[in-house]
């Protein structure tokens, strides 16, 4: 099957989330999905856009939607939920208010009829879970994971409403389908601090500290995410989080597309499992049913990245 694809800057352009991009593309290819990038897509504006200038954000995203529509894409896979949300909100707003549509079209010099819509990775996989189940080559062992949706996958519910807003279950169902054991925990949809990772890292440390302590307290051995910002904050900033919450944290942060890829027998290298900040060697070995590597890897928090 063919699917429109909007990778967004984090996955493709500056690629601080190169793992997410690489693993998503590889896993979907293994599922037989051919991804076609929206031609000449631009940045969705992210936090800076939607926080400081709603007209700019709307225009930027109507351009993306119009480009997708012109390329005949009814559904656009946007793995990053912030991109998905910006596209979805732009869609909602211009579909409801013709004046907003006109202003956005004038700004971006394109016409948009309203026939495209973004879809997150979780939603796509969940809608096609039968296909996913068919393609599983090696079921993963029942390692306990906390599925972290972040604030964007379920809010605002008008734009992102495919799962239960307060107690979402779709990513959990997917992980269980792959063989993992999911834990019930209290911070599934709490915000990680998002775009403040550089500009106000104390907030990120506080928020991620709360999230990771809750995940650890629930017995999780890893956290599964589907958002590049969440990944960066929970992974790259885990040391600060641990310090702020005054707890010991050793939680590898894995992308949903990475655990999916492992179940499809893709290699850790293809899935970019070697570039995380919190060391993933041990968890990956366990996920692949391999013997644990002999004691050279340090505890999480240090720069223990092993290039495989």
Partner 1 sequence: MSRIGVFICHCGENIGSVVDCPRVAATLAEHPGVAFATDYKYMCSDPGQNLIKQAIDDHKLTGVVVSACSPRMHEPTFRNAVAEKGLNPFLCEMANIREHCSWVHTDNEAATIKAIELVRLMVEKVKSNEALEPIHVPITKRALVIGGGIAGIQAALDIANAGNEVVIVEREPSIGGHMLQLSETFPTLDCSQCILTPKMVDIARHPLITLHTWSEVEKVDGYIGNFEVTVRKKARSVDLDKCTGCGACMQKCPSRKILSEFNAGVTVPDPENPKKRLGYRTAIYTPCPQAVPNKPVIDREHCLKFTKGKCGVCAKVCPTNAIDYEQEDELITEKVGAVVVATGYQVWSVAEAAKDYPYIGYGEYGYGTHPDIINGLQFERLLSASGPTAGRVVRPSDGKVPQTVVFLSCVGSRDNEKGFTYCSKICCMYLSKHAMLYKHKVHEGQAYNFYMDLRAGGKTYDEFSRRTIEEDGCIYLRGRVSRIYPRGDHLVVQGADTLSNAQVEVEADLVVLATAIIAQPDAEALAQKLRVAYDKDHFFAEAHPKLRPVESQTAGIFFAGTCQGPKDIPETVAQASGAAAKVSALFSADELEREPMVAHVHRAPPPVYSHCFGCFFCERVCPYGAIEREELRDRKGNLIKTVAKVNEGLCAGCGLCAASCRANAITLRGFNDEQLFAVVNAIGEQ
Partner 2 sequence: MKLELSRAQVNSEWKREVERRLGREVSACYQCGKCSAGCPVAYEMFHPIHAMMRLVQLGRKDEALRSRSQWVCVGCEACSERCPKDVDPARLMTVLREMAQEEGCVNADESDIYDFHQSFLSSLKMFGRVYEMGLVSHYKLKSPIKRGPQDMITGLQMMRRGKPGFLPHRVQNVAAIRRIYERTKLQKPADDRDSD
In the complex, the residues that contact partner 1 under the rule CB under 8 A are 164-167, 186-187, 214, 217
Closer residue to partner 2, CB minimum distance, 147 or 263: 147
Closer residue to partner 2, CB minimum distance, 16 or 138: 16
Q: Which of 229, 228, 233 is nearest to 244 (CA)?
A: 233
CB of 201 to partner 2, least distance (A): 8
42 binds, among partner 2, partner 1, none (CB under 5 to 8 A by kind): partner 2
Binding site for partner 2 (CB under 8 A): 9, 12-18, 40-43, 45-56, 58-60, 63, 106-109, 151-152, 155-157, 165, 189-191, 193-196, 198-201, 203, 206-207, 210, 236, 275, 277, 303, 305
Angle made by CA atoms 14, 18, 21, in degrees to the nearest 5: 110
Closer residue to partner 1, CB minimum distance, 50 or 155: 155
Helix, strand and coil in the chain, % to nearest 5: 45, 10, 45
Closer residue to partner 2, CB minimum distance, 46 or 251: 46
Closer residue to partner 2, CB minimum distance, 290 or 303: 303
For tokens 């909100």, the residue is 89
* Strands (E) located in the chain: 2-5, 34-37, 75-77, 117-119, 144-147, 181-182, 222-225, 253-255
Is the separation of the CB atoms in 145 and 222 below 8 Å?
yes
Output the six-digit token pair for 108.
Answer: 């971006």
> Reading across the β-sheet that carries 117-119, which strands appear in turn?
34-37, 2-5, 75-77, 117-119
Closer residue to partner 1, CB minimum distance, 115 or 186: 186
Decide: helix, strand or coil at residue 48: helix
215 binds, among partner 1, partner 2, none (CB under 5 to 8 A by kind): none
Output the furthest CA–CA distance in the chain (Å, rounded): 64
Closer residue to partner 2, CB minimum distance, 203 or 217: 203
Q: Where are the alpha helices (DSSP H) in 71-120?
A: 81-96, 98-108
CB of 7 to partner 2, least distance (A): 10
- Cα distance between residue 254 and residue 251, in whole Å: 9
CB of 206 to partner 1, least distance (A): 13
Output the six-digit token pair for 160.
Answer: 């992102």
3 binds, among partner 2, partner 1, none (CB under 5 to 8 A by kind): none
CB of 275 to partner 2, least distance (A): 4
214 binds, among partner 2, partner 1, none (CB under 5 to 8 A by kind): partner 1
Angle made by CA atoms 162, 58, 233, in degrees to the nearest 5: 60
Decide: helix, strand or coil at residue 226: coil
Is the separation of the CB atoms in 147 and 220 below 8 Å?
no
CB of 167 to partner 1, least distance (A): 5
304 binds, among partner 1, partner 2, none (CB under 5 to 8 A by kind): none
186 binds, among partner 1, partner 2, none (CB under 5 to 8 A by kind): partner 1
18 binds, among partner 1, partner 2, none (CB under 5 to 8 A by kind): partner 2
């Amino acid at each position: 099957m063919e699917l429109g694809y909007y990778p967004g800057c984090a996955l493709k352009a500056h690629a601080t989330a190169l793992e997410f991009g690489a693993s998503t593309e590889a896993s979907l290819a293994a599922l037989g999905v051919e991804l076609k990038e929206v031609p000449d897509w631009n940045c969705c504006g992210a936090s800076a856009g939607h926080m400081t200038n709603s007209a700019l954000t709307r225009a930027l995203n109507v351009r993306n939607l119009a480009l997708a529509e012109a390329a005949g894409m009814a559904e656009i896979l946007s793995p990053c939920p912030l991109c998905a949300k910006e596209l979805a909100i732009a869609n909602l707003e211009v579909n409801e208010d013709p004046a907003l549509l006109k202003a956005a079209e004038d700004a971006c010099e394109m016409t948009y009829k309203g026939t495209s819509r973004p879809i997150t990775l979780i939603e796509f996989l969940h809608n096609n879970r039968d296909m996913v189940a068919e393609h599983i080559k090696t079921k993963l062992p029942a390692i306990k994971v906390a599925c972290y949706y972040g604030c964007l996958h379920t809010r605002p519910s008008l734009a992102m409403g495919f799962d239960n807003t307060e107690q979402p279950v779709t990513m959990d169902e997917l992980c269980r389908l792959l063989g993992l054991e999911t834990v019930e925990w209290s911070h599934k949809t709490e915000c990680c601090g998002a775009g403040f990772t550089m500009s106000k890292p104390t907030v990120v440390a506080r928020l991620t500290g709360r999230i990771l302590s809750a995940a650890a307290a629930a017995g999780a051995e890893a956290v599964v995410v589907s958002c590049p910002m969440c990944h960066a904050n929970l992974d790259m900033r885990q040391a600060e989080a641990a310090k702020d919450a005054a707890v010991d944290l050793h939680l590898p942060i894995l992308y949903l597309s990475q655990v999916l890829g492992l179940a499809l027998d893709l290699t850790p290298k293809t899935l970019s499992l070697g570039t995380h900040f919190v060391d993933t060697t041990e968890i990956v070995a366990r996920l692949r049913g391999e013997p644990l590597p002999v004691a050279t890897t340090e505890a999480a928090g240090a720069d223990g990245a092993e290039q495989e």
